[in-house]
Structure 1
Amino acid sequence: MSSSQKKVIVRRFAGDVTPGYLPLNAFVRQDAATPRVDLLDLSGRVISLHLNDIKTISYVRDFNLNDTVNPERLARRTFLARPRTEGLWVRLTFRGGDLLEGLAPTDLSLLSNAIEDIGLHLTPPDIRSNTQRIFVPRSAITDLQLIAVITTPSRKKPLPTEEAPSLQDTLFETLPPNSRPN
């Protein structure tokens, strides 16, 4: 396991929630027939969870163990307006029918996870909440919609400067008059 473990809350389709620690990347183990996640729980034991049973893995600031219903404190599951940060604005539909929107990165990590069919890392709609990042396994998603590609505003193009004369203008001037193509 990686030495950099982050606080996570694993929500499964069965409805239970398991707090623990995982690295940010490369935590899915595909040794067996089904992919697994090795979660370090709060007592220091490693729990092996089937990836197909996991709905979301939320990277959180605090565990909030007193809140048994919503320890992730993810109040908003959709954006109120167009996001301001860069990324792919996506809408996911889970196997249970509920929706989640988020921003997926527009870098190679998105493609490598898609090729390996593992899942998506998303930034949630409210980054000021307890949840900082969400991992959604591919097996939990029934529908994925790309809403928009959010980029930074384009810069103004520089004004054209005085360029060197083009060679195209003087191409046929150096030829004798009788050798010009007709």
Structure 2
Amino acid sequence: MSSAHKKVIVRRFTGETLPGYLPLAGFTRNRIVDLLDLEGRVISLAINDIKHICYVRDYNLNDAANPERLTRRTFLAKPRTEGLWLRLTFRSGDLLEGLAPIDATLADDLINDIGLQLTPPDVRSNTQRIFVPRTSITDLQLLAVITTPSRRKPLPASSVPSLQEDLFTNLIPPNTRPN
């Protein structure tokens, strides 16, 4: 197994979960995802059948209901990490919020009709990243654009005019001013 393959749990709309390995990007071709399962076989899955793909730390195969341990699906407050705060509604009607990167890859993936890579609301959970195919989304809302505040740059000392020299010159009568 190459180090480029990461642990994933694929959740289908039927409720079935499939553990396996996928690369972080470029794993779709002709609307098919080739999942390398735990026995080393390649399973071809139609992207229309996939609800989401969770990149996980551990498989948790003894938990049949929620092996990806995606417990919190929305943010409790405004995220602090930079990104696009998105709310997705799936075909099944449930919601998921996440942060997408602020760059052109979001638009590129939507134009190519592949999907979105999101950071989940709780990054300390088992799920580190989520891929959501475009075909599983019925509604996409942009809630906020989270950016880091810009800091004012200090001016160089030489460019700051000195107000101290001219502070009292107007108070001294003109004929008594020193030259």
Find the counterpart in structure 1 of residue 87 from structure 2. 91
Q: Write the letter of the residue equivalent to 2:22.
A: L
Following superposition, the deviation at residue 158 of structure 1 comes to 3.5
Q: Write the letter of the residue equivalent to 1:44.
A: G
Change (3 A) 1:50 1:2: farther
Contact 1:77 1:101 in 2 (8 A): yes
Question: Is the aligned partner of 1:116 residue 2:116?
Answer: no
Deviations 1:65-117 (A, max 9, x none): 00000001011000001111100000000001100000001123212211201
- Two-structure CA RMSD over aligned residues (Å): 1.7
In structure 2, what is the Cα distance between the partners aligned to 1:56 and 1:133? 10
Contact 1:7 1:20 in 2 (8 A): yes
In structure 2, what is the Cα distance between the partners aligned to 1:125 and 1:6? 20
Find the counterpart in structure 1 of residue 64 from structure 2. 68
TM-score, with normalisation over the residues of structure 1?
0.83
Deviations 1:52-74 (A, max 9, x none): 00000000000000000000101
In structure 2, what is the Cα distance between the partners aligned to 1:83 and 1:162? 39
What is the total number of aligned residue pairs between the two structures? 159
Find the counterpart in structure 1 of residue 43 from structure 2. 47
What are the residue-to-residue correspondences of 1:102-113 with 2, within 5 Å?
Answer: 102-113=98-109
Deviations 1:23-47 (A, max 9, x none): 00000011xxxx1000000010000
Structure possessing the higher radius of gyration over alpha carbons: 2
Q: Helix, strand or coil for the counterpart of 1:103?
A: strand
Q: Write the letter of the residue equivalent to 2:110.
A: A
Q: Write the letter of the residue equivalent to 1:12.
A: R
Q: Helix, strand or coil for the counterpart of 1:9?
A: strand
In structure 1, what is the Cα distance between the partners aligned to 2:2 and 2:67? 25
Find the counterpart in structure 2 of residue 15 from structure 1. 15
Q: Write the letter of the residue equivalent to 2:18.
A: T
Following superposition, the deviation at residue 156 of structure 1 comes to 1.7
Moved beyond 3 Å, runs of 4+: 157-163
Following superposition, the deviation at residue 49 of structure 1 comes to 0.1
Structure 1 residues not aligned, in runs of 5+: 164-182
TM-score, with normalisation over the residues of structure 2?
0.85
Stretch moving more, 75-84 or 101-110: 101-110
Question: Is the aligned partner of 1:26 residue 2:26?
Answer: yes
In structure 1, what is the Cα distance between the partners aligned to 2:104 and 2:59? 30
> Identity of paired residues, percent?
74
Stretch moving more, 100-109 or 129-138: 100-109
In structure 1, what is the Cα distance between the partners aligned to 2:63 and 2:99? 26
Indicate which of 159, 162, 165 corresponds to 2:159: 162
Q: Write the letter of the residue equivalent to 1:19.
A: P
